[in-house]
């Protein structure tokens, strides 16, 4: 099992001027650096690939889904832009050697409404249609799409594993799978370990192993022993990544509802979180 950390912990948006983080992540002992595509034009992807290759650091690519990247929006122009964003990110993942591109692919983070059953079904259909197209691009580039449920305070569309599975079943592509974030799962699932088993080895493509308060892994109330047992039982051998937020922008703070520091420093959260991963998962 390999361990990673998202650049979100230190900076947003990540850009070419943030490449010192690549050295830091390597020196801390991580195997993977997870890079969100906030603005693709801010990053020299060729230079980043060269640097990560030199350091022997793997890359995973994640999404940042703002209001203009919503494939289930009522506005067809926004839906089209959301699909283009996913397809552009798939190409970046392929360039960077990331096996996947993951996140809340289905909607915009922070989209919170009470809507009719008919509108829910319409948005579901728009989402599925766009993910069918995105999955064709993913197949072309050999990239897996990881659909991530978010908690009810960040999305009104996909909060649970069951809802994620419904979309995956409707899209019916081997290139669309599910990624889990234990912070969200701790809010929405009756039992995280049971949910891991429900997704299973064939569909679980990525794990963001975040604590109950999104702080340092191992310091909250997550049932880490049960999580480990479930991952071992299904034979999961992918990554476990810390994805939390340090120096958040106003937009990111609002989307993630983070109003206070989650640790004494991002460096401390990363280093102590990695130490917990290594001890708990017996790397």
- Residue 14's CATH number: 3.20.20.150
Query: pLDDT of 243-253, one tens digit each?
Result: 998 765 665 66
Q: Name which of 32-36, 135-139, 256-260 the model is least confident about.
A: 256-260
- The mean predicted confidence, pLDDT, of the chain is 95
Whole-structure pTM value: 0.95
Domain around 104: 2-280
User: What CA–CA distances, in Å, run from 128 to 140, 165, 194?
Assistant: 18, 12, 26
Active-site residues, by number, are: 148, 243
pLDDT at 36 over 70: yes
Q: How many domains does the chain have?
A: 1
Q: Which residues of 9-25 are buried (b: 16+ CB within 10 A; e: fewer)?
A: bbbbbbeeebbebbebb
Query: What is the average per-residue pLDDT within 121-131?
Result: 98
pLDDT at 199 over 60: yes
pLDDT exceeds cutoff 80 at 166: yes
pLDDT of residue 150: 98
DSSP code of 116? -
Diameter over CA atoms, the chain: 52
Q: Tell me: the pLDDT tens digits for 56-88?
A: 999 999 999 999 999 999 999 999 999 999 999
């Amino acid at each position: 099992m390999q361990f990673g950390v998202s650049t979100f912990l230190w900076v947003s948006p990540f850009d070419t001027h943030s490449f010192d983080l690549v050295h830091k992540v390597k020196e801390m002992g991580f195997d993977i650096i997870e890079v969100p595509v906030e603005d693709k034009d801010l990053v020299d992807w060729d230079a980043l690939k060269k640097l990560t290759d030199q350091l022997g650091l793997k890359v995973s690519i994640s999404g940042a889904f703002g209001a203009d990247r919503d494939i289930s929006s009522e506005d067809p122009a926004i839906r089209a832009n959301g699909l283009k964003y996913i397809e552009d990110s798939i190409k970046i993942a392929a360039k960077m050697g990331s096996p996947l591109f993951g996140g809340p692919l289905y909607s915009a983070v922070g989209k919170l409404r009470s809507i009719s059953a008919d509108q829910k079904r319409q948005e579901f259909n728009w989402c599925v249609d766009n993910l069918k197209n995105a999955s064709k691009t993913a197949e072309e580039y050999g990239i897996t799409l990881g659909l991530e449920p978010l908690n009810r305070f960040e999305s009104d569309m996909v909060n649970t594993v069951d809802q994620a599975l419904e979309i995956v079943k409707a899209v019916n592509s081997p290139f669309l799978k599910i990624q889990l974030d234990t912070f969200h799962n701790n809010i929405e699932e009756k039992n995280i370990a049971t949910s891991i088993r429900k997704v299973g080895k064939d569909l679980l493509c990525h794990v963001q192993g975040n604590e109950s308060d999104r702080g340092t892994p191992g310091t909250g109330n997550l049932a880490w022993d049960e999580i480990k047992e479930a991952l071992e039982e299904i034979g999961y051998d992918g990554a476990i990544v810390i994805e939390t937020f340090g120096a958040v922008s106003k937009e990111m703070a609002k989307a993630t509802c983070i109003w206070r520091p989650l640790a004494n420093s991002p460096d401390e959260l990363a280093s102590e979180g990695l130490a917990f991963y290594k001890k708990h998962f017996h790397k």
